[in-house]
Chain A
Amino acid sequence: MRTLAARRRHPAATALLLLMALLVTGAAYTALAPDRADATAAPTVEGATGDVDRGQELFLANCATCHGLQAQGGTAGPSLIGVGAAAVDFQVATGRMPLAQQAPQAPQKPRVFSDQDVADLAAYVASLAPGPAIPEPGQVEVLDDAEDIAAGGELFRINCAMCHNVVGAGGALTQGKYAPSLEGVEGRHIYEAMQTGPQSMPVFNDDNITPEEKQQIISYLDNVQSTPSPGGWSLGSIGPVTEGLFVWVGAMVLLIGCAVWLGAKSS
């Protein structure tokens, strides 16, 4: 101790102290931070296991124009290093990628790649750097329990409804962008969207919304979409605007029509 104390004014002391502090912080962070998704296992899409080499070929042929030969990104597309297999599965399997044209937002459209192609592409991108993995089928299974559905509804209203509407009917964002309707979207893609934050969507990682909560949200959406509207024709579930429209073009036209009919035999 005495030697250490004697050398405390050594020119290297400050640098050493800093180095030690950094090491401690780094070690603590590694110990406490949540594990990143495991990217070593080859991703599977609907049972198809990905092949990195074939994925790279597909990547070079279909994606590299915008995302760069090393997936490093460029002016036309972002870097894909570290986006993970989940991002690839979401973007490609919902048909958003490859992009048909530069637009405010990539729309969902009929997909061009098979499950195997998607798995290969995902394997290639996942091999570049660790990132969120494609969820296991068990993670996106719909829960039937009323409490899970109710909890999912609460989470959805707090975290998602401001853009996607309370029942996931979609909504507008700025400059032509929009939060798409979640009608008929697969649970896997909802999960991946939460993990990767595609386009304008924020990332809801496992610290924001735990995997169980993600599953509850998926279950809530499944419930509201599979339950028939209790009140009759839902008018798109987008609120009072369509109701007002219906009152004027439906009800008022009908009622005025009746008035005209009753008044037709007048003097």
Chain B
Amino acid sequence: MKQLSLKNKKSLVGYSFIFPWIIGFLIFTAFPLVYSLFLSFQQVKLTPNGIVTTYVKFENYIYAFTVDIQYTQVLLRFLRELVISTPIIIVFSLIIALLLNQPIRWRTFFRMVFFLPVIIASGPVIMDLMEQDVTSIPSIEEYAIFDAVLSNTEGLFHTILTYLMENLVIILWYSGVQILMFLAALQKTDRQVYKAAKIDGASNWECFWKVTLPTLFPMIIVNLIYTIVTYSIFALNPVVEHIQSQMFEISTGFGYASALSWIYFLVITLVLVIGVGVLILGNKKYR
């Protein structure tokens, strides 16, 4: 038997560790994905004898942009929300993580409370809550101050503000895992760096911009990806709801729903690439 080289041996160990995961992933995630790509080019009919598909080229995709008036609307609205919410979620969780890293009494308790969204936002709880409309601050528009603010602002800023008011709570609930990741990174940073900076005469404010933020940078990217992903595939997201409603529609069918979700998928990927790209470029300049 041929002796394995050290490099091959090492990669063999790597493969063996990842093997069980790969199998599960290929069969139950990757294969259905590819199959749905195939279906998106087909007209799918569910008959008593099984599923009948006919090849229709790009018909489904063309239909999505030309005939289906709802889809593009919903998609655009979703994109706007995503662009507004993601930075807010990340900044918010960063602030909370910084606060939770301070020496305060009952810190463990606060950490637990801020990690709670993990079980709220992904469970059936959130559906219940959204149905009951408790996700917006009740009747906030009635307060004079917001009235004043809203009537004095216009255009884009106004939209952003109203959106924020209506979804503030939801945004906070998205931030559980993000807070955890920032916290973990904060605790791994070396205390001595701060001490050195302090001796050199840096204020807390400067410490944050020059020490904390650069060390957190990789985590900001991770959180950006995580936030965009969880926000997009959230089951009550209007785009996802639209896709689901199309799925069992007789006139359009599953093939069309597959096409819709592939369009959606590509859009999210694009957003993700742009987001990460902007961050990395910005960081290079910053240095």
A complexed with B: no
